């Protein structure tokens, strides 16, 4: 071999050694574009907690990752669509995006029925899903897939946060008002397990259609039960309507109304006089520290509302995805997922690692809604009552029913 050839080889080896993952993948990108799809509720029950704010969060992640909107020299494109909280619409849109539009990853996916439907399509197509809005523990258990990450929260975390805290206050007898679909059933089941394990009992349950506006009959049954706690296993506008109507009936004067899933957008809609004193569990709070405040104020400039944990989760998941594409040197699913699962994620909003079952394990926060007199500024809504460590906020892998986890 000639001296020039040897020198060229040594230079190439040195460059490759600096980033061996790039060398293996060869910067291969399908369609010469890295394409991200935000599939969310843009017009209905969950549009306030996800919706347009989720799209803004994804755009912020792309802009923060790359000033020129590229990764490994290829353009990053973002598209969005409204799944209307219908699994069939979501699945059809996912197929269209994956097959015709060259989408590499679908993010957000609020509501469990939507997330599970899209996850199934993604597994068939060998594409990636990153779930921020859906809550069911099923996502990382019976229905887990190798190409999915459950990013922000699940029914196990909610139950072991809010549920456990309320039972420990001595409120042992519970009555559930539950959204009649997969998410509601999962949240009621996980919360029931926590209540019973801590010496409480469930006196009854009422299931309501999703979405719903009139909760009077369910609330009157809960009132008649004499339960200490009226637990709301629903979300979004359903939760807002439930809390408002419970207040109208005076239920909150004798019984404790406990929303098992509430977002800062819900508190904002209700107002502090109606929501004060309620406990809730979240994976993100805009006013937690300097980093969350700085990012949230930037988000507020665009959306005129502070971010929910779902919207913060979209920013975090899109950022981590792009970092994984950068590390893998390709948008091919297997190398990107390998890179993603190997990362320690610490983006200023969330910190943790992705487990074998696809759960992004991070701390959660037990929050209490402030009294109006305690709020010092707009959106100053919460007192942080406890940090729930990641290991406590996540179902132990020893209990996993995920096909990706080997239990011995």
Inform me whether the pLDDT recorded for 189 exceeds 70.
Answer: yes
Inform me whether the pLDDT recorded for 379 exceeds 60.
Answer: yes
Residues 6+ apart with CB under 8 A from 341: 354
Dist CA 33 CA 138 (whole Å): 32
pLDDT (tens digit, 9 = 90+) per residue, 101-118? 999 999 999 999 999 999
Inform me whether the pLDDT recorded for 27 exceeds 90.
Answer: no
Inform me whether the pLDDT recorded for 62 exceeds 50.
Answer: yes
Under the banding of pLDDT at 50, 70 and 90, the label for residue 329 is: very high
pLDDT (tens digit, 9 = 90+) per residue, 118-168? 999 999 999 999 999 999 999 999 999 999 999 999 999 999 999 999 999
CB-based contact 220:214 (threshold 8 Å) = no
Under the banding of pLDDT at 50, 70 and 90, the label for residue 199 is: very high
| pLDDT score at 86 | 97
Inform me whether the pLDDT recorded for 187 exceeds 50.
Answer: yes
Under the banding of pLDDT at 50, 70 and 90, the label for residue 179 is: very high
Question: H helices within 236-308, ranges in order?
Answer: 237-248, 251-254, 264-270, 272-275, 290-303
**Helices 309-328/333-342 angle, 10° precision:** 110
pLDDT (tens digit, 9 = 90+) per residue, 67-89? 999 999 999 999 999 999 999 99
pLDDT (tens digit, 9 = 90+) per residue, 347-364? 999 999 999 999 999 999
Task: Identify the CA nearest to 223 among candidates 201, 195, 248.
Answer: 248
Average confidence score pLDDT of the chain: 93
Q: In angstroms, how far is the first alpha carbon of the chain from the final one? A: 54
| pLDDT score at 212 | 94
Domains for the chain: give ranges and CATH numbers: 34-153+288-362 (3.40.50.2300), 156-282+364-393 (3.40.50.2300)
Please state the rounded mean pLDDT for residues 6-27: 40
- Give the H/E segment covering residue 60: helix 51-65
Inform me whether the pLDDT recorded for 8 exceeds 90.
Answer: no
Inform me whether the pLDDT recorded for 34 exceeds 60.
Answer: yes
| pLDDT score at 407 | 52
Inform me whether the pLDDT recorded for 13 exceeds 70.
Answer: no
CB-based contact 233:178 (threshold 8 Å) = yes
Inform me whether the pLDDT recorded for 170 exceeds 90.
Answer: yes
Percent of the chain residues past pLDDT 90, beyond the cut: 92
Inform me whether the pLDDT recorded for 98 exceeds 90.
Answer: yes
Q: What does the DSSP 8-state code read for residue 306? A: P
pLDDT (tens digit, 9 = 90+) per residue, 202-225? 999 999 999 999 999 999 999 999
Under the banding of pLDDT at 50, 70 and 90, the label for residue 252 is: confident
Task: Identify the CA nearest to 153 among candidates 182, 114, 112.
Answer: 112
Please state the rounded mean pLDDT for residues 84-100: 98
Task: Identify the CA nearest to 308 among candidates 91, 2, 51, 89.
Answer: 51
Please state the rounded mean pLDDT for residues 376-402: 96
């Amino acid at each position: 071999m000639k001296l020039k050839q040897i020198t060229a080889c040594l230079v190439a080896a040195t460059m490759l050694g600096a980033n061996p993952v790039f060398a293996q993948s060869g910067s291969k990108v399908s369609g010469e574009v890295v394409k991200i799809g935000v599939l969310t509720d843009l017009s209905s029950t969950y549009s306030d907690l996800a919706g347009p704010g989720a799209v803004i969060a994804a755009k912020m992640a792309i802009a923060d990752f790359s000033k020129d909107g590229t990764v490994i020299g290829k353009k990053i494109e973002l598209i969005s669509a409204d799944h209307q909280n219908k699994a069939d619409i979501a699945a059809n849109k996912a197929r269209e995006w994956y097959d015709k539009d060259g989408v590499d990853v679908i993010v957000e996916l609020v509501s469990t029925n939507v997330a599970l439907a899209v996850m199934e399509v993604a597994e068939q197509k060998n594409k990636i899903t990153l779930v921020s809005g859906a809550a069911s523990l099923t996502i990382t258990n019976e229905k887990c897939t190798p190409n999915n990450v459950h990013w922000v929260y699940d029914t196990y975390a909610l139950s072991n946060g809010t549920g456990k805290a309320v039972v420990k206050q001595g409120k042992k007898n519970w009555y559930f008002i539950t959204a009649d679909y997969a998410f509601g059933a999962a949240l009621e089941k996980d919360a029931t397990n926590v209540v019973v394990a801590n010496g409480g009992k469930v006196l009854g349950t009422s299931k309501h259609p999703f979405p719903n506006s009139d909760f009077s009959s369910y609330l009157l049954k809960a009132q008649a039960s004499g339960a200490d706690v009226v637990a709301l296993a629903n979300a979004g506008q359903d939760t807002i309507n439930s809390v408002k109507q419970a207040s109208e009936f005076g239920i909150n004067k004798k019984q404790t109304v406990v929303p098992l899933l509430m977002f800062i957008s819900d508190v904002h809609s209700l107002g502090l006089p109606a929501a004060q004193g309620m406990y809730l569990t979240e994976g993100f709070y805009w006013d937690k520290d300097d980093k969350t405040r700085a990012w949230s104020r930037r988000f507020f400039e665009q959306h005129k509302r502070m971010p929910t944990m779902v919207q913060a989760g979209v920013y975090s998941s899109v950022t981590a995805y792009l970092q994984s594409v950068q590390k893998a040197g390709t948008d091919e699913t297997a190398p990107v997922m390998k890179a993603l699962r190997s990362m320690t994620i610490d983006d200023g909003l969330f910190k943790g690692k992705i487990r074998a079952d696809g759960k992004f394990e991070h701390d959660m926060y037990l929050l209490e809604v402030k009294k109006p007199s305690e709020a010092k500024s707009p959106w100053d809504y919460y007192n942080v009552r406890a940090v729930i460590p990641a290991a406590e906020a996540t179902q132990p892998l020893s209990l996993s029913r995920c096909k990706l986890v080997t239990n011995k």
